[in-house]
Amino acid sequence: MAAGAEALHFRVDDVDPHDRLDKLVVHLLERAGRATSRAAVQRWIAAGRVLVDGEPARASVAVRSGALVDIRPEAPSPPAAAADPGVAIAVVYEDEHLLVIDKPAGLVVHPARGHASGTLVNGLLALPGFALAPADPRDPMGHVRPGIVHRLDRGTSGLLVVAKDEPTREALKARFARHEIEREYAAIVAGEARDATYDTLHGRHATDRLRFTSWIRSDAGAGGAAPRRAVTHVRVLERLGDAATVVACSLETGRTHQIRVHLAERGRTPILGDPLYGKPPKKPAVRAVAEELGRQALHARVLGFIHPATQRPVRWESALPADMRRALDQLRRLATRSSI
């Protein structure tokens, strides 16, 4: 094994998984507070950085109870994205393990085609502690996402948690996968919304690759991706005449565009200003408000979870940003005058 990395030693117990070495190593590292992705572990195994009873082994090999597993983790490679100190990041909480930011609408989360710079990731790399943050090796698109465990669409504002180290990132990803993260969004929708729970399948649209849909069969995933379950709870907060409603949306799952799809397709109340799933409101006064807003009226206002390091509950709330407050005030005035 290469020198310079801290070696970890484990004796395999009866209760540990035995069917695959890579699965076992992920389990052992998580138990030791060193959570690591399976893809990273597989790279270490291929490079001979994991030994079973002193010998290299394949990732797929079964491991007997009582075997000695030696692991020498590989230091993460620096991400390829360039640091950009010009990206403004509103930090609402920070400690040595993670930070929580209040993302403005218009800020793209990670570099991708058409957005090679000026993204949240570029801004993070300019902050202390993120220079060597590991990119997620499981990302099939090859995006550089140091510390990113979830994302918000470009046009959505609000709270986003970012991990500063790999164990925190993996622990948060596991909490998201187990639906243990509290997330609530505020939205202004067109039409008269109602309290509802939408529990549907969710997958990519068959003919429009930019869109997702809940009107999909379990065997009809586009591009080979099987549809997944999506659950959104909608609660009415304020009615603005018959043309708009303010709602709170809490998530059990976090699929791409999930809230936007559910409100548009199932509630028939698309988010005001949504350029992909909405339509220009029929009433001119409401349409003018949407056009001035210039983005979907969706804000991630609550984020809470058990902190991976302290094991204590943490929770943050974010007030509506200025553009949504302005749109809301305009709609309230219109509703009061009964002109909508």
102: annotated active-site residue = no
Residues 297, 92, 307, CA angle at the centre, nearest 5°? 105
Q: What are phi and psi of 89, to 5 degrees?
A: -125, 120
Q: Quick one: three-class SS letters along 182-238?
A: EEEEEEEEECCCCCEEEEEEEEECCCCCCCEECCCCCCCCHHHCCCEEEEEEEEEEE
pLDDT of residue 138: 47
What three-state secondary structure class fits 285?
helix
> How far is 24 from 227, CA to CA, in rounded Å?
29
Burial 301-335 (b: 16+ CB within 10 A, else e): bbbbbeebeeeeebebebebbebbeebbebbeebb
Q: Which of 153, 165, 274, 323 is catalytic?
A: 153
Please count the CA atoms within 13 angstroms of the CA of 195 that sit on its side-chain side.
4
pLDDT of residue 339: 53
* Residue reference for tokens 């394949």: 58
pLDDT of residue 77: 54
Burial 199-221 (b: 16+ CB within 10 A, else e): ebbbbbeeeeeebbbbebeeeeb
- The tokens describing 319, both together, are 């007030």
pLDDT of residue 3: 41
Best CA proximity match to 98, nearest among 166, 52, 30, 196:
166
To which H or E segment does residue 18 belong? none
Question: CB 37: neighbour CB atoms within 10 A?
Answer: 18
Weakly modelled stretches of the chain, pLDDT under 50: 1-4, 132-135, 137-144, 222-224
- Contact between 79 and 133 (Cβ < 8 Å): yes
Q: In Å, how far from its chain's centre is CA 332?
A: 32
Burial 69-103 (b: 16+ CB within 10 A, else e): bbbbbbebeebebebbeebebeeeeeeebbbbbbb
pLDDT of residue 336: 87
Helices (H), the chain: 21-31, 38-46, 120-124, 166-177, 258-261, 284-293, 322-336
> How far is 300 from 320, CA to CA, in rounded Å?
9
Best CA proximity match to 203, nearest among 233, 232, 229, 173:
229
What three-state secondary structure class fits 263?
helix
- The tokens describing 321, both together, are 């940003």
Question: CB 9: neighbour CB atoms within 10 A?
Answer: 10
